[in-house]
Amino acid sequence: MTARHSLMPGRILAKLVFGLVWTTALGLVAPRNVWAQTKVLPMPDPTRRAVWEAEAARRVGEWERVEHPWASGKAYLKPVESDRVDAALEFAFQAERPTTLQVWPLWWRHGERKSASLFPHPLPARWGPHVLDVCGPYVFFTAPQTGKVGVLDAASERLVASIEVGGYLSDLAAHRDAGRVFVADAQGKRVVALHAKKFTKVSEIRLSARPWSLALHQGKLYVGCLVNAPGDNTAVKSGLVAVVDAASGKVTREIPLDAPPTQVAVLEKPAPQLVAWPMPKAFDHVTLDELSPIEEGYPRTRRTRVQYLAAGRPGAKDIGIKGQALTVRTWDHPMQAWGKEIKTLDMQSVTGTAESFTQPSAPSPLRINTGPDVMDYAGTKLFFTAPSAGKVGVVDIPKDELVGMVDVGGYLADLVADRRTNKVYVADAKGNRVVVLDGAKDAVAAEIRVSELPWALALEGNMLFVVCRQAGSLVAIDVTTQRIVREMKFSAEPFFVQMILPPKPDWWPLLPHDRIPDISKPRLAVWVAPVAFDLASLDRVAPSNVPDKAPGRRQQVACDIEGKSKTVSAADALCLRVDKNSVDVSAVADPQLAASARPLASGDAPGTITLSLDGGPEFDWRRDLWMTPDQNLFLVNESDEFWRWNAPTFSVGPGQHVLKVKAHSP
């Protein structure tokens, strides 16, 4: 059996396995029409495998039989294009006694072999322990991929319980007064309440979106949720905050958000407010089409440090900023590291002093900033901004000498250099313009009028991207014509823009295979400011003293044990750190140690085919284990040992059964 473009397997291999599961399973009786139209296939002998040819299966949808000398049985099947969404093959068989079957495909030689992408793809999946909280003498932690909550006794530093919740556990919060622990299951669109002493499930709170972050405050649970794009269960489009009464479990209000939240929190000072930090927006840098986020956040890199030439090359320099001076370290010889001597270049002749400027009135993001602030280089010259002075300083890098200054005027929020054309672009936040400098002449060459408060710049090829904070927009400028080609509006205030480039291919073997197509594509990331709501009315208000960056998941907690404090921390590395000791919690957190594969659920993207038994849940065709969980030995693809660990397993009772193989290829 194979699909168009060789997407389906050539035949199905079933192997009977004794000794794994001896309990009797009640199988659903297949519909009569299946048995009327389908040949009943023989069960495998306990010591042998049985090959079930695709041609012997009942065909669901319209299929075409294609003869080919390379195919098993000299022919294969492919679904007709118009009906392949529902294309499936049903294999009927009869078991005489309780049996466990392992089933795997024998692929057509150049058929697609794509595995399922599991939730929260395209966001990265975490193994755990991921989030911690304390309730009484216990530390509760999430193991997102296994769908379990682990419990550590902080006094004995031992794992005392593993609570099966299911789904993908994105966050956890302890309600100490009520003796409850709330766990967010993002895959199941629910929050589960656990008993903090009995370690059992107490109740479930059903939500309309996927809970991603929890904040508990004065008996109310604030749940930041991801909202999927219409008709797509795997793409994240926007978000919302659900307000839940912790005692009754009733959802009292939903607040829509324009961007998916990476975290929500309640801040008490200077005024009580509920804050939601959005994930950075991602765009195709060529078409500016919005993309689904693949990270909760990216490292923001302002150009406050420059490396001139590659490390190891004679003349290479590392240039930084210290106060109103530049610091320079030189690589003097190919066989040594960076020189220990740091040269300091005073730039006060360009920057001026703080006393000479007047502090702008709030709430403007402008502030007294003498600089040097940001810098970049073109040719052998370094250009840096003195924001409050409205000047750009020019340094001869080989000579370590200030050689010029350009009086641009205004307030210089950002700067970027184009090394191909020797042009330097400067954002003037006061004058609402981007000023173009000629790097050879150290002079203003042109200026481009943009929307209010240009604040951050990113250059990619011939496109210059400008974030305008007050206008709430992203401006795209073609630098060859120096004209605006597009402007995109945001409902929240954008404050930073950066190109996210793919990692080096050397790292790809360490990445999950389904993430490689996503991260190998450059994308333009735009950070937008957090949104705040008055805690009493939940009306939207201007954020008050709210940091741009979310505080991060609770991965470190302190426990008071008989008057002594212990610190417990986690880093998604299958162990907990208790002061200086490590506690292995892989029995809870490692998904590879599970006895069998979990069925696919909401938010999972199926691979090339899925397998199901008697109308039950669908399983991916392999588990994607490439090392043996017991001994960490590498597995050879499609070897007997590989399928021993990776083949889906079904337990059947005596009677008639139907194995369904469904195609999911595009």
* Predicted pLDDT at 361: 62
| In a shared domain, residues 584 and 617 | no
Would you list the DSSP string of 634-645? BPPTTSHHHHHH
Whether 610 and 618 have beta carbons less than 8 Å apart is answered as yes
- Please name the amino acid found at residue 43: M
Residues 6+ away with beta carbon under 8 Å from 631: none
- Cα(376)–Cα(307) distance, integer angstroms: 9
Q: What CATH number should be reported for the domain holding residue 504?
A: 2.130.10.10
Q: Is the pLDDT of residue 101 over 50?
A: yes
More confident position, 513 or 486: 486
The tally of CA atoms less than 13 A away on the side-chain side of residue 126 is 23
Contacts of 488 (CB under 8 A, 6+ apart): 288, 473, 474, 476
pLDDT above 80 (res 548): yes
CATH code: domain of residue 89: 2.60.120
Given a cut of 90, whether residue 333 has pLDDT beyond it is no
Do 575 and 616 lie in one domain? The reply is: no
Q: H or E segment at 161?
A: strand 158-164
Reduced to 3 states, what is the DSSP secondary structure of residue 366? coil
Residues 67 and 199 in one domain: no
Q: What is the pLDDT of residue 383?
A: 98
Residues 504 and 454 in one domain: yes
When pLDDT is cut at 50, 70 and 90, the band that residue 340 belongs to is: low
Bigger pLDDT: 35 vs 297: 297
Q: Residue 438, Cβ neighbours under 10 Å: how many? A: 15
Geometric angle at alpha carbon 521, from 519 and 524, rounded to 5°? 100
Domain final position from 502, 528, 554: 528
Instruction: Of 148, 171, 172, give the one whose Cα is nearest residue 161.
Output: 148
Measured distance CA(432)–CA(417) in Å, rounded: 19
CA distance 253 to 470: 30
Domain count, the chain: 3
How far is the CA of 459 from the CAs of 181, 423, 475, in angstroms? 47, 11, 12
Structural domain containing residue 26:
11-116+606-663
The one-letter amino acid at 235: A
Q: Which of 103-107, 188-192, 579-583, 659-663 has the highest mean pLDDT?
A: 188-192
Q: What is the pLDDT of residue 78?
A: 77
pLDDT of residue 363: 60
- Say how far apart CA 321 and CA 372 lie, in whole Å: 7
**What are the backbone dihedrals phi and psi of residue 481, each rounded to the nearest 5 degrees, phi first?**
-105, -10
Interior CA angle at 645 toward 641 and 651, to 5°?
120
Going by pLDDT thresholds of 50, 70 and 90, the confidence category of residue 24 is very low
Q: Give Dmax over CA atoms of the chain in angstroms.
A: 92
Contacts 24+ apart (CB under 8 A), 185-192: 185/147, 185/211, 186/119, 186/120, 186/210, 186/211, 186/212, 186/226, 186/603, 187/119, 187/120, 187/601, 187/602, 187/603, 188/601, 188/602, 189/602, 191/221, 191/223, 191/244, 192/165
Mean pLDDT of 564-581: 93
Write the single-letter amino acid at 272.
Answer: P
Please tell me whether residue 197 adopts helix, strand or coil conformation. Answer: coil
Q: Do 436 and 405 share a structural domain?
A: yes
Residue 125 is assigned to a structural domain of this protein: no
- b/e sequence 462-493, b meaning 16+ C-beta within 10 Å: ebbbbbbbebbbbbbbebeebebeeebebebb
Sign of CA dihedral 125, 128, 130, 134: positive
Yes or no: say if 64 and 76 are a contact pair by the CB < 8 Å rule.
Answer: no
pLDDT one-digit tens code per residue, 421-436: 999 999 999 999 999 9
343 lies in the same domain as 211: no
Closest CA to 498 of 451, 538, 456: 456
pLDDT at 518 over 70: yes
649 and 572 within one domain: no
Place of tokens 């023989």: 42
Q: Closest Cα partner for 533 from 274, 265, 357?
A: 274
Phi, psi (5° rounding) for residue 332?
A: -85, -25
Enter the DSSP assignment of 351. Answer: H
Residue 295, in any domain of the structure: no
For the chain, what's the residue count? 666
Residues 178 and 42 in one domain: no
Burial of 629 (0-12, 13-18, 19+ CB in 10 A): middle
The residues with which 328 forms a beta bridge, in sequence order, are 319, 343
- Asked if residue 464 lies in contact with residue 482, where contact means CB atoms within 8 angstroms, the answer is no
* pLDDT band, residue 543 (cuts 50/70/90): confident
Residue 270 has a pLDDT of: 84
Claim to verify: residue 250 and residue 320 sit in the same structural domain: no
- The yes-or-no verdict on residue 36 having pLDDT over 60 is no
Task: Write down the pLDDT at residue 23.
Answer: 23
- Please check the confidence at residue 79 and state whether its pLDDT lies above 80: no
The answer to the question of residue 152 being in a domain is yes
**Beta-bridge mates of residue 216:** 221
Whether 635 and 628 have beta carbons less than 8 Å apart is answered as: yes
What's the half-sphere exposure (Cβ side, CA atoms, 13 Å) at 626?
8
**Half-sphere exposure at residue 391, Cβ-oriented, CA atoms within 13 angstroms:** 17
Assigned domain for 553 exists: yes
Q: Is residue 49 part of a domain?
A: yes
Which H helix or E strand runs over 587? helix 586-589
Q: CA–CA separation, 414 vs 155, rounded Å?
A: 52
Q: Per-residue pLDDT tens for 247-273?
A: 999 999 999 999 999 999 999 888 899
Q: Is the pLDDT of residue 22 over 70?
A: no
Among residues 476, 497, 528, the one where a domain terminates is 528
Residue with tokens 């904040």: 215
Both 473 and 364 in a single domain? Answer: yes
Residue 486: inside a domain, yes or no? yes
At residue 27, does pLDDT exceed 50?
Answer: no
Q: Tell me how far apart the alpha carbons of residues 314 and 50 are, in angstroms, rounded to a whole number.
A: 67
* Residue 335: predicted pLDDT: 61
Question: To which residue do tokens 């079930």 refer?
Answer: 52
* Predicted model pTM: 0.88
Nearest CA-CA partner of 242 in 205, 268, 278: 205
Do 324 and 257 fall within a single domain?
A: no
Cα angle: 660, vertex 55, 83; to 5 degrees? 60
Distance between CA 190 and CA 208 in Å, rounded?
Answer: 8
In a domain, 127, yes or no: no
Tell me: cis bond preceding 120? Omega within 30 of 0 counts: yes
Backbone angles phi, psi at 82, to 5 degrees: -70, -20
- Mean pLDDT for 520-534 is 94
With a pLDDT cut of 70, the percent of the chain lying above it is 91
Q: Cα–Cα distance between 371 and 405 in angstroms, integer?
A: 13
Is residue 66 situated within a structural domain? Answer: yes
- Computed over its alpha carbons, how large is the radius of gyration of the chain? 30
Co-location of 613 and 552 in the same domain: no
